[in-house]
Amino acid sequence: AQLTKNNKLKLTTPIFETMARFAALIALCLAASASAFTPVFNRAQSTVVMSAEQSSRRGFVQTVGAFGAMVGASSAALADGAQSMSTRQRSKGIYGARIVALDQAVAAGDFAAVEEQKNAFVLFVSGGFTTPSGKVIAKELKADYANIFAAVSNKDQAALKSSYAEFVKKADIRPLYDEKTKAYTQGYSTEYDWKAYTPKGTIYQR
């Protein structure tokens, strides 16, 4: 019986050794397969990273381009805003008031007073008549302006009166409020209104 048991052990041992060798062979094959696939995986990852970097760069360039376009559009809007209806009204209101206030000086032949407001005429025309139709009027006003200051230079009171009256008429400059109208007029409602710091900046009080 003891002999039979030992014979069985001798027969079983080679089987275990063969299985162990087979298992080791399978493990080597799996390791080799894994190592064979690893470089392919790395190359694919590198390609993805490069593609992502290129995409990121393209996105950056596109963003910068869009930002530049917005800045350009903003600049154009600001440039257009320099000739808006609001700025035209401001120029006509502020400088027109200074021009029409010269009526008594013109009537009295006060050439020095008219000379002092020379810039008011220039700014009134350049800022208040920027539309296509306004530029036509501005051309005529420039001619009247030249006549006004030619009269001032020559001390010609009659020429000053006629050229001044012609300028005011063509420019459609309205007289300022008289005392009665001023007392019952609300000229502005906020300090940001251009009328706030001019004679037209009246506040109605009960």
Instruction: Give the list of residues 6+ apart from residue 96 with CB closer than 8 angstroms, or none.
Output: 124, 128, 171, 173, 174
Question: What does the pLDDT read at residue 48?
Answer: 44
Distance CA 170, CA 168 (A): 6
Question: What does the pLDDT read at residue 84?
Answer: 83
Other CB atoms within a 10 A radius of the CB of residue 95 amount to 24
Question: What does the pLDDT read at residue 101?
Answer: 92
| Concatenated DSSP letters of 85-132 | HHHHHHHHHHHHHHHHTTHHHHHHT-HHHHHHTHHHHHHHHHHH--SH
C-alpha closest to that of 128 among 159, 160, 162, 97? 97
Question: What does the pLDDT read at residue 75?
Answer: 37
By the 8 A CB rule, do 114 and 152 touch?
Answer: yes
Question: What does the pLDDT read at residue 182?
Answer: 54
Q: Give pLDDT tens digits along the chain (206 positions).
A: 444 544 444 445 555 566 666 666 666 656 555 555 554 444 444 444 445 455 555 554 454 444 344 434 433 433 444 678 888 888 888 899 899 999 999 999 999 999 999 999 999 999 999 999 999 999 999 999 999 999 999 999 999 999 999 999 999 998 766 555 555 555 555 565 666 666 666 665 66
Question: What does the pLDDT read at residue 85?
Answer: 82
Domains of the chain: 86-175 (1.20.120.1740), 177-205 (no CATH)
Distance CA 173, CA 94 (A): 11
